[in-house]
Structure 1
Amino acid sequence: MEVGGSPTWSEPNGPPSPDLTSHAELPEKLRPKNIFEIPVWMGEPDRFCGLVVEWNNEPVHVLPFQKGYMIFGRDPAVSNTFVGHPSVSRQHAAIVWSREDRLAYLIDLESENGTYIDDIQIPLNEPVKLLPGHRISFASCFRRYVFIDQYDRVVKELRKSRPTVRVRHILVKHAESGRPSSWRGETITRTRDEARAQIQSYRRQILEKQEDFGRIASEVSDCTSAKRGGDLGPIFPGQNKAAFEEIAFRLNVGEVSEPVETLSGFHIILREG
C-alpha cells in the first residue's frame, strides 16, 4: 500500500478523528513531513508473516504482511497502519522486508517516544531484525504486535533437503551499510568506495600468499565471526543474504570469491568444505 493511500486500521476503535486526517486543505508547508524512504534493499515477502495484535495479552486479530513495508503511525496521510494513541508519532515506525536475506526489519522513524521490541527501545533509523515471537510496542500504546513468521519451519525444511557448505568470510562495512557500526564498538565512517577498495586489497594479499585469510578476518572483519577467524561454519540456502549465498555455493573448495556486496557491506568468502 502506498503512503497516503487507504489505511489498514489496526485499532478496533476505527479511524482517527478528522483533525488527524484532513491535510489536503492545509498549505504545503504545514502538511506533515513524509520521513519514510523505501530502502533500496526492500522486496516483497516470499512467505506468510505478519503481526498478531494483542490487547491485555489477548489476541485481537492478525495483520498480514502483504507488501514490502508497513508504516505505523497515528496519521494515515503518512502511514498505512493506524495506531491511535496520542503518544504515537504521526509516522512512527516501519517494518520492511529485505529481499537480500528474506527477513523483516523494524525501523524507528525518528519517533518522539520510541519503538520497542520486548520492552527494549530500538535505535532511531537503524534496521533491527525481527524474529518470530518478538513483541513490538509503540510509545505508551498499550497494544502489542507479536511478529509471526514461517521462517523456523522453512529453515528446518531447508536443513533436511539442501546441501551445506563451510565458509569463512571477511566483512568491511561502510557508512551506507544497513547497520554502520562494528562489533568492535566503532561507528563506521568509511565511504562505500573506500570499503570496496579495502576488501579488494585484502583479497589481493590473500591470493598473493602475503596474508592468511583467517588472520586478516580476525584483525579487520566487521562481523563478529572475526573472533573465529571469519568462520561461519556450515551454511545452507535460506540462512544468509541471497547475494552472499549465491556466491558461496558456487565456489570450489579452497577458492576465494570476488568482493560480494550485501546490505551489510562488502565481503570476500573462502569455501572450506
Structure 2
Amino acid sequence: MMVISKHSKKIQGEQYCSEYDINMSMLKKITRKGFWLKYRNQFVIYMILSFGMIFLTSILFLANPQIFKFFIGPLNPILIIIFIALLGSAFLIVLASGGFLEKHKSKNLKLMLISLVIAPYLASIVILIDIVFRYPENINVLFPQSLIFYLVIAFAVEVLFHLIPFALLLIALTKVFHDTDRNKTMQISIALGSFIEPIYQMIIAFPEGFPLWNIIYFFGIHLVLFNVIQLNLFRHYGFLSMFLFRLIYYAIWHIIWGYFRLVLFF
C-alpha cells in the first residue's frame, strides 16, 4: 500500500493551484475586449482563409470525389477541413492568449516580403533535381484541379504541421522550462517543429532509386530549412505569411512545373 506524505500532497496541491491560475489567467485574457482588438487582423485573416478553404474543398470534392482519397482515404474532405480549421483557430487563440503571437506592424511588411522571395529559390532547386533525376510521374495533381487542390492542402499542412505542433511545443516547453527566456523557448520550439513535416514526408514519400545525397538534401536540409523559415514567418508576421510562403512554393513547384513536367518528361 502506497503512503502519500503530506509534503507530496502539498506539492500536488500547489501544482493544481498553479495550473488553475494559469487557466483562469488565460480565460481572462481571452474575454477581454482588448485581446481581440490586439490580434484582430490575425483572427480575421484566419477566419477568411478557413471559410475560403471550406468553400474550395466543397467545390473540388463535388467535381472530383476521388481527388483527396490518397491523403484521407474514405473520409469526407469537407468535414476534415472544417475540423482542421476549427482546431487551428483554437490553437491560434491559445498562442495569442499566451503572448506568443506578435502584433502585426506595417513596418514589418517589407521584411516579410523579402522573406517570401526565398520560396521561389527553394522551388527552383527541387525543379533542377527533378530535371536531372526525375521524380515519379504521379507526384502532382493535374491542372486545372491543382489550382484549388494545392490551396486547400497548403492551408491544411500549415495548421497540422506548423500551427498546432508549434503551439503544443511552446506550451510544453514553457511548463517544463518556466524559468527559461521566452525567446529561447520559441527558438527551441521552432527547431524541433521544423523536423515534423520532413519526417512525415520521408515516411510516406520516400523516393526509391534516388541517390543518397538527394534524399539527405531534400529531407534533411531542404525541407528542414523550408520549415524553419515558415515557423519564423509565423512567429513574426502571422499565419498568412506562412501560408503565402508555401503557396508560392506550391504554385511554382506543383502547379506550374507540375503541368510542364508532364508535357516534357512523360
Give the TM-score normalised by structure 1: 0.26
Structure with the bigger percentage of strand:
1
Greater helix content: 2
TM-score between both structures, scaled by the size of structure 2: 0.26
